[in-house]
Amino acid sequence: MRSLKRNRQSGLQSLLDQNPFLSDEELAGHFDVSVQTIRLDRMELGIPEMRERMKMVAQDAYTKVRSLSEQELVGQLRELELGSHGVSVLDTTMEMIFEKTKTVRGHYIFAQANSLAVALVDAAIALTASADIRFNQPVYAGERLVCTARVIANADKKVEIAAETTSGDNTVFTGTFIVTKLADAEVG
Amino acid sequence: MRSLKRNRQSGLQSLLDQNPFLSDEELAGHFDVSVQTIRLDRMELGIPEMRERMKMVAQDAYTKVRSLSEQELVGQLRELELGSHGVSVLDTTMEMIFEKTKTVRGHYIFAQANSLAVALVDAAIALTASADIRFNQPVYAGERLVCTARVIANADKKVEIAAETTSGDNTVFTGTFIVTKLADAEVG
DNA sequence: TATATAATTGGTATCAGGTATTAGAACCAG
DNA sequence: CTGGTTCTAATACCTGATACCAATTATATA
């Protein structure tokens, strides 16, 4: 394979990574080759046609938006005993990081613990009142965060919950949450 | 207009709202009419063809994902003086709420304050080390949250920042963040 | 009941953006 | 000069449409 082709193909790949909405004709114009050549390149690289690419993006986004708005918990629930304890797992992704540091932004880690803490409370309605939290060490994209939360005090209106998030053997986050129990009448 | 048509058209509209990926043929099958009838209905309702609908969803999602991953700050920055203070504004939406309570989930409010606190630190790399936070009252979708953060202590490696988030006249959130300043060598 | 009108169906031509395949030209190396 | 790689061209076909037109069916009203 001559380097012209190799170059074009790697260019094609990265161009479509950036912008999946380009048709073969536009691509042909960009690389100054025929449409057929682009088609051959796509075949070799296993890149589907524009419409399929758009469909993938659309479907992906559509299910993502829906599941996000339906999702009350950040992370996947692994264990939950209301009023007692719970465990959730969060796989961190590139979307959660700071560009510069490549570390996961604190509020994702907080969100996992916070939503688990709230889920733990055995009440119709529960809201975080306060929290005292500590980020012990940075988390990088790809790490699997396991959060364990436990009720440590349960009063009439307030529940105190201790949460700890680990990545492998390391404790990356600890926090204490005070969650308020509300009756339906008190909200809205 | 007869009620059959009216019914079908309102059904069509809501069906496509739920699932924009249906072709005219599938829709014709669903309503047990001809493909042409579906086309006429789409014309009258001003609904574009399936491919256009997919394209809209895809493009919308694509720009959203990109801006989200490029965005280091949750909310829009209104004022920022490095090492001193900053203000950001976050318009809360339906996507941020608990189904049951209709109140904005704590970690969105936290995320706004946390990202502003980190942005405030005059260092190449800054990470939240710990935080002590308080949610004073529930926030409902649609409220505009204004977060003000101010550096209150600045040591060699640690910066202490006080943040307050208000909605109208109400203080909905207060927090103290300890942010760690890191050199590039200490990360990655 | 006859008929005007609305609603629906069917068919044809055309398009974009492809797939799949075959044939051939251009280039380069041994 | 021959052979393999790379590129272009040509053709038939596909899906999901648009645009248009004629025919049919259903309904309401004079």
Confidence check: pLDDT of A147 > 90? yes
Structure token pair of residue A154: 């349960």
Phi (first) and psi of residue B19, to 5 degrees: -140, 95
Among the listed ranges A17-21, A68-72, B14-18, which one has the minimum average pLDDT value? Answer: A68-72
Contact across the interface for A102 and B187, Cβ inside 8 Å? yes
Nucleotide nearest to B8 (CA to C1'): C7
Contact across the interface for A55 and B58, Cβ inside 8 Å? yes
Looking at residue A180, its pLDDT comes to 92
Looking at residue B68, its pLDDT comes to 36
User: pLDDT tens digits, residue range A55-65?
Assistant: 998 887 666 54
Contacts of A127 in chain B (CB under 8 A): 101, 103, 106, 135, 138
Contacts of B130 in chain A (CB under 8 A): 132-135
Nucleotide nearest to B52 (CA to C1'): D17
Q: Strand C: which bases are under 7 Å from protein Cβ?
A: 6-11, 16-21, 28
Spatial contact of B119 and B161, defined as CB atoms under 8 Å apart: no
Question: What average pLDDT score do residues A77-93 get?
Answer: 83
Question: Residue ranges of the domains in chain B?
Answer: 3-70, 76-186
Looking at residue B99, its pLDDT comes to 67
Structure token pair of residue B142: 């649609």
Contacts of B20 in chain A (CB under 8 A): 58, 62
- pLDDT band at residue A6, thresholds of 50, 70 and 90? confident
User: pLDDT tens digits, residue range A114-140?
Assistant: 989 988 887 767 889 999 999 998 998
Question: What average pLDDT score do residues A21-41 get?
Answer: 92
| Distance from C-alpha of A58 to C-alpha of B59, rounded to nearest angstrom | 8
Q: CA–C1' distance A171–C22 (Å)?
A: 63
B27 SS3 class: helix
When mean pLDDT is compared over A68-72, A88-92, B30-34, the highest value belongs to: B30-34
Q: Give percent of chain A above pLDDT 70.
A: 86
Contact across the interface for A135 and B114, Cβ inside 8 Å? no
CB proximity B51 to A under 8 Å: yes
Residue B43: CB less than 7 A from any atom in strand C: no
Query: Which of A179, A174, A166, A163 is CA-nearest to residue A90?
Result: A166
Q: Which CATH number fits domain B3-70: 1.10.730.10, 3.20.20.140, 1.10.10.10, 3.40.50.720?
A: 1.10.10.10
CB proximity B183 to A under 8 Å: no
- pLDDT band at residue A70, thresholds of 50, 70 and 90? very low
Sheet holding A158-167, edge to edge: A76-81, A85-91, A144-154, A158-167, A170-182, A125-135, B125-135, B170-182, B158-167, B144-154, B85-91, B76-81
Q: Exposed, middle or buried: residue A7 (CB in 10 Å: 0-12, 13-18, 19+)? A: exposed
Confidence check: pLDDT of A97 > 70? yes
Looking at residue B80, its pLDDT comes to 73
Cβ–Cβ pairs < 8 A, chains A and B: 138
pLDDT in tens, chain B (188 residues): 667 788 999 999 989 988 899 999 999 999 999 999 999 999 988 899 999 999 998 887 676 544 333 445 677 777 777 888 888 888 887 777 776 677 888 888 999 999 899 888 877 678 899 999 999 989 998 899 999 999 999 998 999 999 999 999 999 999 999 999 876 545 44
Looking at residue B124, its pLDDT comes to 67
CATH 3.40.50.1220 is the classification of domain B76-186 = no
Contact across the interface for A105 and B94, Cβ inside 8 Å? no
Spatial contact of B42 and B53, defined as CB atoms under 8 Å apart: no
Residue A170: CB less than 7 A from any atom in strand D: no
Best of B21, B52, B56, B62 to mutate (most A CBs within 10 Å, chain A)? B62
